[in-house]
Structures are given as C-alpha cells and as structure tokens.
Amino acid sequence: MEKACIKTPLGVAKLEGDAKGLSSITVLDTDEETAEVIPEILEDAVYQLQEYFEGRRKSFSLTLNPEGTDFQKKVWKALQEIPYGKTVSYLKLSKTLGDVKAIRAVAAANGKNPLWIVVPCHRVIGSDGSLVGYAGGLHRKKWLLNHESPAKQQSLF
C-alpha cells in the first residue's frame, strides 16, 4: 500500500492506494508532513485533487478500491452519481437506493466513506437543507459546498 500526504485548502489529505486502485483519502487535523515525492501509483489522484481545489475539475476518473461492506459500497456508488454543485437529502438518497426505511443505514454508510471528496459524501444534507453529520467537520463540508456552488458569492470588500 502506497501513501502520500498533500496540502489542500482544508488541511493535509492522506491518500492510500495500490495497483488495484485508490483505497482511501482522508483529511487530517494534524500537520503531517507532505510528500516530497508522490508514489507513481498515486500521482493521478494527487493531480486530480489539485485540479478540483483549483476549480478546474468537477468529476474524477480514478480506479477506486475502498474497503467496506456490499451495502456501504452500494451507497458510495450512489454518492458518485450526485452531480457537482448539487446536493441531495439522506431521505432522497435512501429512496434512490430503494428503501426509504434504510435512512439511518445510508447515513451510517455515508459517514464511513473512505474516499474524501472523490466520493462526494459532502453533497448529502438534511431534509430541511441543514448541514448535518460530516466526518471531516461541518466547516469543511460548508467550504466544499461553497466551492462547488455555481453562484459564487462576490466579496464587496
């Protein structure tokens, strides 16, 4: 398993993967050292993440290999269908997956998403539009949704 840490506007991101694909991207609350040399197997993921943060990428084309249950993987696949700049509620996501009663299980699987940003769990919100539950911290979720917002707010000052 190869590993790299890169700086992002939201902190240091730790990427892990191998020849089978990218297995995890997590944001760290520590100032772990960033990699001087990125392992070749992770170069494309690093490049695509940098493009995302620069506002030049709206979707990712990476081979993913996260560890999880079949149900978690089904939820993570559904998350990848949420378009850039859009949000869905946990209830709507549950309906999309075919079981409105599975809302808690869907929310739990969403919280276990090991592929920060690439599998966009930040695009799932409460039914009332509130920013609820985000493993990376609500301040990061808010930043990501603002970053993807089609109507950028201009500063008056």
| Catalytic site residue from 64, 121, 124, 125 | 121
Q: What is the dihedral of CA 44, 4, 138, 9, to 10 degrees?
A: -70
The yes-or-no answer on residue 121 being catalytic is yes
Place of tokens 């990125």: 38
Q: Which of 110, 116, 109, 114 is nearest to 12 (CA)?
A: 116
Q: Supply 1's token pair.
A: 């398993």
List active site positions.
121
